[in-house]
Structure 1
């Protein structure tokens, strides 16, 4: 049987291109344009492989992958992204991902990356750098991006992303189904944790860490 794939990217042209590329060998059973939608579709469709970007609205790919790894440990997670800094590679593999492919070379590399992931092997795009194999297998080093992954709570990470996307306190409250006071509490905690003082600084931090796109 052909393996079933779910694709996550906030650009429809990218989704269309990946679907055409991958459907020659796999069954593309669904697509999603936000991290929250990706998780919902993974729950509904139960794919063998999830191919996702890092920069997605509402919930970024790193956070979505972490949650999928906990709830669906058998799913293979493969990142296809423009982010080539090793810090993001470490963060991606810390979630349990099996492959990390540069968008610039996805047409040439993605098929092989999926095959390797299904065979319980790792793949990192050569564009990441000469330490690709070591990065894939090594324990993540301490780095600025790791603060976002480990020091902040899941709820703080959700609030941080939505704040950086320009959502109002009321919109965040509705999106996360929490009270306005709770949103304000988490936002204040974020600023304390990160040593930041303004919403603009929070937004710049989120952009610098690749949590949201600029």
Structure 2
């Protein structure tokens, strides 16, 4: 018996792009709906309850970021991937902070997009590598100032260990571990352990 293909709602107001991506997805994904503006995208996601959303950012009526904000405010956690021509690391960071699971450049569309979609469906995040590297360089000076112990704490946070477990493994107090985490969180501009893990994954710090 064939496995059920993941259902995707796709949004892009450029016909040629939409047709090309639709062909790329064919055979691997079931296209639940195709939208050409943000309002239609929001309606389709609410109606179809897809496994994945793939969307441009700039669209008529309501842009992709606004659609994502609305969905997340409603408690909708559907995996959401942006496919865009905008190659600004700051915009990619904003999208991921808003709740996106992936950010792929249209110039990279093809095999990379398929890899990104699979990673997101597997519960991971994906940012086009060149963007992740450029964003990381903005923090690189501070990251080089981390002590070896702080780097080890970050690595163990990425394995899913809690502060008490990390403290026991490194022979530190829980308070010291929390202090190290706080320092790293300030550098990466995040405000919780969940955000720290997610941002570190986006930037490839656990690989």
Distance 1:74 1:129 in 2: 23
Higher relative contact order at CA 8 Å, sep ≥6: structure 1 or structure 2?
Answer: 1
Equivalent residue, structure 1, for 2:63: 60
Distance 1:11 1:32 in 2: 10
Equivalent residue, structure 2, for 1:46: 49
Gap regions ≥5 residues in structure 2: 139-184, 191-207
| Match runs of 1:186-201 below 5 Å | none
Distance 1:91 1:49 in 2: 20
Per-residue deviation, 1:128: 1.7
- CA 1:57/1:139 → structure 2, altered by over 3 Å: closer, same or farther? farther
Equivalent pairs, count: 140
1:136-172 deviation per Cα after TM superposition (whole angstroms, max 9, x unaligned): x9547xxxxxxxxxxxxxxxxxxxxxxxxxxxxxxxx
Q: Secondary structure at the residue paired with 2:8?
A: strand
Equivalent residue, structure 1, for 2:118: 115
Q: TM-score, normalized by length of structure 1?
A: 0.60
Equivalent residue, structure 2, for 1:130: 133
- Contact preservation (8 Å) 2:56, 2:64: yes
Distance 2:79 2:35 in 1: 16
Equivalent residue, structure 1, for 2:100: 97
Distance 1:38 1:47 in 2: 11
Distance 1:132 1:65 in 2: 22
| Match runs of 1:1-214 below 5 Å | 1-71=4-74, 73-131=76-134, 138-139=188-189
- Contact preservation (8 Å) 1:35, 1:56: yes
Q: TM-score, normalized by length of structure 2?
A: 0.62
Gap regions ≥5 residues in structure 1: 141-214
* Cα root mean square deviation, aligned: 2.3
1:75-114 deviation per Cα after TM superposition (whole angstroms, max 9, x unaligned): 1000000101112111111221111000001112111111
- Contact preservation (8 Å) 1:7, 1:30: yes
